[in-house]
Amino acid sequence: MQEMMTPATTNGMPRLGMPAPQFQAQTTHGTIRLEDYKGSWVILFSHPADFTPVCTTEFMGFAQIQPELRKMNTELLGLSIDSVYSHIAWVRNIEEKMGVKVDFPIIADLNKEVASLYGMIMPGESKTETSRCVFVIDDKQVLRAMIYYPLTTGRNMDEILRLIQALQTSDAKSVATPANWRPGDKVIIPPPLTQEAAEERMKMTGVERTDWYFTKKSLEG
Ligand code: BEZ
């Protein structure tokens, strides 16, 4: 029987757990293809427009967390519907006025190709600008997380770092992470899926068990 293919996008929206939509784009670092990043995690993020104040604070924030992201094998890739000349002028201005060097590539998505592929334009907010979207793509190029923020609200860099830490911890240790989890906090052991496993879970030692379905453990020591 032929296997049903699940499309990577539905109604122009990408889907978690599916291969990230592939693209080739012009950037401030030359032409890049998403597939060039295989083996690294990628944060693909959009902003509404160059030379706008909230976006400027976000760009400084992304530049400041870049060293921490690199330690987690994660690269940044920005995008807006502005030209490469505008991007270059803006990052030069940020360095001159704010003293922050932005040295991750920024896609000049003038024909909205990548924005359409990833559903970055929210026509209810703006038909000509991308919203504040974040797509986390893992080292196998699977889309792992999406964050969408409106034009008026700058994103939280700590949350973006925390999200990468949480996803990589879940992958490495086969665990989940509770609300407000931070590295060093206890993690959640995924709930048992059979009655027998539930009974086993009740006998498990060295864990913080509230009930059969709710057990935490430390990853330290
Ligand atoms: C800003 O980055 O400041 C901004 C951009 C678009 C709409 C509103 C604010």
Q: pLDDT digits over 16-57, tens only?
A: 999 999 999 999 999 999 999 999 999 999 999 999 999 999
With a cut of 70, say whether residue 2 has pLDDT above it. no
Instruction: Report whether residue 151 contacts ligand 1, using a CB cutoff of 6 Å.
Output: yes
CA of 49 to the centre of ligand 1 (A): 7
How far apart are the C-alpha atoms of 78 and 74, rounded to whole Å? 13
List, for residues 57-97, the tens digit of each pLDDT value: 999 999 999 999 999 999 999 999 999 999 999 999 999 99
Decide if pLDDT at 180 tops 90. yes
pLDDT for the residue 11: 60
Question: Ligand 1 centre and the CA of 132: distance in Å?
Answer: 10
Show which residues are catalytic: 55
Give the position, in ligand 1's atom list, of the atom nearest the Cα of 56.
2
Q: Report CA-CA distances (Å) from 173 to 129, 167, 168, 202.
A: 39, 10, 8, 21
Pocket test for ligand 1, best of 45, 55, 131 (most atoms within 8 A of CB): 55
Distance CA 208, CA 196 (A): 20
CA of 53, closest atom in ligand 1: 3
In the chain the domains, ranked by start, together with CATH numbers, are: 3-155 (3.40.30.10), 174-217 (3.30.1020.10)
DSSP string covering 25-52, please? EEEBTEEEEGGGGTTSEEEEEE-S-TT-
- Residue 95 neighbours by CB distance under 10 Å: 14
